[in-house]
Each structure stands twice: as C-alpha cells, then as structure tokens.
Amino acid sequence: NAGVTQTPKFQVLKTGQSMTLQCAQDMNHNSMYWYRQDPGMGLRLIYYSASEGTTDKGEVPNGYNVSRLNKREFSLRLESAAPSQTSVYFCASSENVPTGELFFGEGSRLTVL
C-alpha cells in the first residue's frame, strides 16, 4: 500500500521557471492538501481540496495554482518560481469524516536559484 506518493522528490529551478508537483493517493480519500515547510519552521497550508472538483486557498496560496485532476490526484503548479518558494512541499490526504487523520507523503524538496 503506497499511501501518498509525491513526484519529484528533488527539483532545482531557476527564477522564473515553471513546474508542477504531482501527488497521488491510493486510499480513496476525498480530501487532499498541499503544505510547505521552510527550514526550522512548521508546515503552512497552501491549498486544499475537500472533494473532487473543489479547491480552496490556505494560509499561503500566492504564487501557486492547484488542480484536483480526479479523486486520486492533486497537483501543485508554480507558474514563475521565485527564490522565496524554496521549501519542502508535502502533500496529504484524509477521509471526509470529522476526525479523519491526515496521511502525508515523503515530501518534495524544491530549490529555486
């Protein structure tokens, strides 16, 4: 059982380049999330999707777009990468029950030069 799978695990970009982080879950969860974690800091929510076809902004959505492709997949796109977006990105998923725990992927480490 793979759980939550993120690709790529590592990426280096130049300022202004674009890229998409991919996330897939095989637990049939309705909700999916994208977080970022800067060095020495806690996680901050970028976007989330409570169900297929819906997306909502989190704490730090500027500079990002998301797409809930289907129930399994939730992608995060950086249209014009900036050095401030250098971070570790985590995808998570959960059931849509009141106390559903979040399951996290292993993270994608992005460096923007």
Residues that bind another protein (CB under 8 A): 4, 31, 33, 35, 41-45, 48-50, 56, 58-59, 88, 90, 92, 94, 96-107
Minimum CB separation of residue 7 from another protein in Å reads: 14
Q: Which is nearer to another protein, 14 or 99 (CB)?
A: 99
- DSSP string spanning 70-99? SSSBEEEEESS--GGG-EEEEEEEE-SSTT
Structure tokens at 40: 């020495």
Minimum CB separation of residue 63 from another protein in Å reads: 19
Q: Which is nearer to another protein, 67 or 104 (CB)?
A: 104
How many Cα atoms sit within 13 Å of 53 on the Cβ side? Answer: 0
Query: Which among 35, 31, 33, 24 is positioned nearest to 2, based on CA atoms?
Result: 24
Q: Which is nearer to another protein, 41 or 113 (CB)?
A: 41
